[in-house]
Amino acid sequence: MVTRQIRSRSTSSRTASRNDFPRNVWLAGLGAVSLARKQSTKAFTRLVSEGEQFRGEAQKFAQQLNRDLKRVVADVGRKASAEYAPIKRRVMRNLNETEKSIGAGADEALATLQSIYRQSRAEFERVSRNAKARQRRAKPARAQAPRKNSGRRRRTATA
């Protein structure tokens, strides 16, 4: 009798454990999903808070970088102005001196050239009028005079 009970218990426990295995696998899967959901919610919340902190740090970094860049640009601008101003003064002085030296002679040369041009133009117009007058007078004389034969004969080639 005792052996029967032991046998029946061991057989029934084996059967129960065989029937419980699929159920336990299914419960383990549900547990994994539940645990993953809880952990993902915690992880998501942690990531959001980390992102907010990082955004604040990034804004501070960008503002500091902007201030540093403005300072550097201002320094470079001052240095460039300090270097540029003497060069600009020197160039302007040289240009003014060159303009004065060229300007004095250029005005006289321009006046001389204009005078020569006016004289040349007047002379050209006078010569042009005289040539036209001579052409008008010469046309009737040429029309009346017959052409003279020079008397020369052309040699013809004999073969």
pTM, 2 dp = 0.34
- Say if residue 40's pLDDT is above 60: yes
Instruction: Pick the range with the lowest mean pLDDT from 18-22, 31-35, 104-108, 147-151.
Output: 147-151
Identify which has the larger pLDDT, 98 or 14: 98
Q: Tokens representing 139?
A: 């046309």
How do residues 107-154 score in pLDDT, each as one tens digit?
787 888 899 999 998 899 999 888 888 888 876 555 555 556 555 655
Q: How far apart are the first and last CA of the chain?
A: 166
Helix, strand, coil percent content, the chain, rounded in steps of 5? 90, 0, 10
pLDDT number for residue 68: 92
- Say if residue 9's pLDDT is above 80: no
Q: Is 73 helix (H, G, I), strand (E, B) or coil?
A: helix
Identify which has the larger pLDDT, 16 or 80: 80
